[in-house]
Structure 1
Amino acid sequence: MTTKETGDIATGRLGADRLACEFADIAPLLDAGAAAVAASRCHYCYDAPCVNACPTQIDIPSFIRKIGNGNVKGAALDILSANPLGGMCARVCPTEILCEGACVRNHQDGKPVAIGALQRHATDWAMARGETLFKRAADSGRHVAVVGAGPAGLACAHRLALAGHRVTLFDAREKAGGLNEYGIAAYKTVDDFAQREVEWLLSIGGIELRSGVALGRDMSLADLRQQHDAVFLAVGLAGVKALGVEGETLDGVLDAVDFIARLRQSKDLATLPVGRRVVVIGGGNTAVDAAVQSKKLGAQSVTMAYRRGVDAMSATWAEREFAQTQGVSLILNARPVRVLGDGRTVTAVEFEWTREDEAGRLADTGERFTVEADMVLKAIGQTFVAAGVDREILTLDGARIAVDAECRTSLGDVWAGGDCAATGLDLTVQAVQDGKLAAASIDRVFARTAVRAA
């Protein structure tokens, strides 16, 4: 093993065999026997709370019953009819606060039905066999532009294509998938699953993917509206929030989102540089993914610091516990006030202890401390970049695109969904639901209007 260092940031901290072990699938696929046993624990509730807890409203009792009866294809059809990205959602959904969190077994033996694992069992089975589950309707003569090939855009494109509409799917990056491809920890989605799911989804036909094309740079919304019958915007959150403290521009201070994207696209993890002492600032899933993967790359110490208490963290309890089992230290109620360095590179982060007053407002205590670091990863949130988006369809503060319950904007032929829109939770499964709602709304509008002349 060869280690190359720049200061305390180095590549090759671990050998290939160790890295392969560290980044192996953290939730291996159930075999048929284990799936049958897991399915047998379901009560098949008539008024299933797990279904109500799922943003895409998958009929969970139905698909689990089918797995138990050996009808895995039928189970996959149930899942993918409600959620065309059901395979990825089975891997990344916070099931502990959604379907499994609502499972009635929690009140009996404290252990919910393994809904996520069963969902993955069925969807992986179907994809591995290339099962043809859907047939596209006859061409409708309609053409829709979908901007952004992340979960919302992919779900919308699939539903529109299924209804017979032609879709051109634009994305600024080289690969489709959005956060599924670039923003999720590698140990959650192994074996290039994000791209395999995209290929399966596009196989419905009627969808043209155009990569490397960005709204506001290569095309305008006005042009898209003129050239298509409808437009769906699913451009995500392209900006990253700054710490706004002294020393933020020192070498070794990086955006966690970029760090994860580079890791996900790396063909050799041993070539990725990582610090010896890493500090991750933030309390969400991105912070957890960055912290855990830093540790798995060979960092000796990884500290995740969050300015409020544990209850305010957007990362779920399961994510937090997993990070700590991987050797990540968690510091709460600590606000970064300065990044320290030797004039060029980071050497430590200075924090101030915080407290919350009776109204829940954050206040400083005046007590400070430092944590040594040679790499600092910023994960305090992403922001909407409105390039190419008409201001009239934004929320009053310009932070997102304003939409109604059908994901319609104030422009009659433009819809929006996913993280760029003000629709609710910033989760993959919610983005999929936004895409579904928009596609259904677009289809209803098309049903009421005549096909325009070419």
Structure 2
Amino acid sequence: MSNTPFSEGIEAGRLSAAAISENFGDLHPRLDDHEALVASDRCYFCHDAPCMTACPTDIDIPLFIRQISTGTPEAAARTIFSQNILGGMCARVCPTETLCEEVCVRETAEGSPVEIGRLQRYATDVLMASGVHPFERDAATGKRVAVVGAGPAGLSAAHRLAMYGHDVTVYDGRAKAGGLNEFGIAAYKSVDGFAEREVDWLLKIGGITLETGKALGAGLSLDQLQTDFDAVFLGIGLGGVNVLGVDGEDKEGVDDAVDFIAELRQSDDLTTLPVGRDVVVIGGGMTAVDAAVQAKLLGALNVSLVYRRGRDRMNASQFEQDLAASKGVRIITNASPKAVIGNGAVREIEFEYTNDDLTPTGQTVRLAADQVFKAIGQTLDSDGLPDVVHGKISVDETGRTSVAGIWAGGDCASGGDDLTVTAVGEGRDAAEDIHASLMA
């Protein structure tokens, strides 16, 4: 996202440092010891727990909550990390309201689920704060694995492979590891540099070499990786962004939401980050909500989130939609962008109202806008990749691609639902299959 020259109305320092600090405080502060005991006491410890079935990483949720209730949060954390080594971040960003907590028996009976996400954060934070890594590396196998992409899928795969004694080299095109966790999630969900600290903690398993500034096609060749390593795992995410395909899209002040979020996450002083008076975010997913809410928290006067379908079709959860509304974001549905209007820089954006099947109604509306963020989905650069179908690398249930010796997982691969927790599970499962293949 370009900061200069700014469009008229886009400026930094709309709010004081104190207001910014308050706005970007921890969305769900960690439970203290007493709060954790009280929250854990609400669990029925179901034998056939539906929450476990709903968890993409199959964490034994009743067990770890029971361990918290008996005063052993470190043991609870080990239960979590055995299935999800990025359990700390997942506790912060998982849409638990549509996963484990949605099917909690307490939710079904009372409309108030056990706070599984906050309990998971409590346990993982306690163990990570101790500085102890819960797993030891097996004896070296002599096998070498390349992991391309240091996001949730790649880091999960790398940790599991290193734990089994393989030597792992992780490559990433950015200057820092973490992928989506570091660059693509709202700042109020991951405060105090947690994503970076989690990567440092994960690497304590040993056997993992991290090389940043290297991506496929920019210092890395898939053919060479196959030659140099015994196996390759691709967790490269989705690097491209869909275009609106409307007149005026190239005007100043029209940017990708992912770039805005990444710049915000890497900023040391949010008072220096420019934001418009009238901000329009186009999209209906988590990225759209994160961009819209953060624009408002930076001091934008009016923020509208516009989605082409109805609210029931938005990918953002009801919790996220309600969060946006509570921060003053106006949500407009059944409206599709038609044109970006302005002389060099955006001044307005025109939308056409649509029916539920996206057919246009002929009715239009113009919204004042000095800053527009596109959050309409990301794309995969498929050049040189194995068997890309419908914009994703085709894989089987173990993450194997159509090319022997290459696995893939996370957002770049088929079968996932573009969630951090799903990516972690896919990286873990692929690592298990890679290990079995290497040791056969």
Classify the TM-score, shorter chain: over 0.9
1:64 matched residue in structure 2: 65
Distance in 2, matches of 1:401 and 1:182, equals: 22
**Correspondence 1:222-371 to 2 at 5 A:** 222-341=223-342, 343-356=343-356, 361-371=357-367
Partner SS state of residue 145, structure 1? strand
Partner SS state of residue 82, structure 1? coil
**Correspondence 1:387-402 to 2 at 5 A:** 387-390=383-386, 393-395=387-389, 397=390, 399-402=391-394
**Correspondence 1:94-173 to 2 at 5 A:** 94-173=95-174
Which piece of structure 1 moves more, 177-186 or 215-224? 215-224
**Correspondence 1:48-59 to 2 at 5 A:** 48-59=49-60
Match of 2:380 among 363, 384, 397: 384
Distance in 2, matches of 1:277 and 1:112, equals: 37
Distance in 2, matches of 1:295 and 1:387, equals: 38
Q: Which runs of 4+ in 1 moved over 3 A?
A: none
Superposed displacement of residue 270, structure 1: 0.7
Distance in 2, matches of 1:228 and 1:122, equals: 37
Superposed displacement of residue 126, structure 1: 0.7
> Would you say the 8 A contact 2:59–2:84 is kept in 1?
yes
- TM-score with structure 1 setting the length: 0.95
Superposed displacement of residue 387, structure 1: 3.8
Superposed displacement of residue 221, structure 1: 0.5
Superposed displacement of residue 412, structure 1: 1.4
- TM-score with structure 2 setting the length: 0.98
Flag structure 2 segments of 5+ consecutive residues without an equivalent: none
Residues 5-30 of structure 1: CA distance to partner in whole angstroms, max 9, x if unpaired? 75110101011111000001010000
Distance in 2, matches of 1:143 and 1:388, equals: 22
In structure 1, give the amino acid aligned to 2:49: A
Distance 1:401 1:6, change over 3 A: closer
> Would you say the 8 A contact 1:423–1:434 is kept in 2?
no
Partner SS state of residue 107, structure 1? helix
Query: Does the alignment pair 1:435 with 2:427?
Result: yes
Partner SS state of residue 428, structure 2? helix
Which piece of structure 1 moves more, 56-65 or 6-15? 6-15
Match of 1:424 among 416, 428, 433: 416
Distance in 1, matches of 2:383 and 2:218, equals: 8
> Would you say the 8 A contact 1:148–1:236 is kept in 2?
yes
1:414 matched residue in structure 2: 406
Partner SS state of residue 360, structure 2? strand
Superposed displacement of residue 132, structure 1: 2.8
> Would you say the 8 A contact 1:339–1:346 is kept in 2?
yes
Residues 225-246 of structure 1: CA distance to partner in whole angstroms, max 9, x if unpaired? 0000000000000000000000
Partner SS state of residue 330, structure 1? strand
In structure 2, give the amino acid aligned to 1:263: L
Superposed displacement of residue 388, structure 1: 4.0
> Would you say the 8 A contact 2:7–2:252 is kept in 1?
no
In structure 2, give the amino acid aligned to 1:204: I
> Would you say the 8 A contact 1:234–1:417 is kept in 2?
yes
Match of 2:437 among 415, 431, 445: 445
Partner SS state of residue 247, structure 2? coil
1:452 matched residue in structure 2: none
Partner SS state of residue 344, structure 2? coil
Distance in 1, matches of 2:185 and 2:207, equals: 28
Query: Does the alignment pair 1:188 with 2:192?
Result: no
Distance in 2, matches of 1:430 and 1:109, equals: 28
> Would you say the 8 A contact 2:23–2:297 is kept in 1?
yes
Partner SS state of residue 34, structure 1? helix
How big is the alpha-carbon RMSD for the aligned residues of Structure 1 and Structure 2? 1.0
Distance in 1, matches of 2:16 and 2:413, equals: 43
Superposed displacement of residue 335, structure 1: 0.5
Distance in 2, matches of 1:386 and 1:273, equals: 34
Superposed displacement of residue 429, structure 1: 0.3
Distance in 2, matches of 1:330 and 1:376, equals: 15
Query: Does the alignment pair 1:93 with 2:94?
Result: yes
Flag structure 1 segments of 5+ consecutive residues without an equivalent: 449-454
Partner SS state of residue 404, structure 2? coil
Distance in 1, matches of 2:153 and 2:6, equals: 40
Distance in 1, matches of 2:365 and 2:133, equals: 59
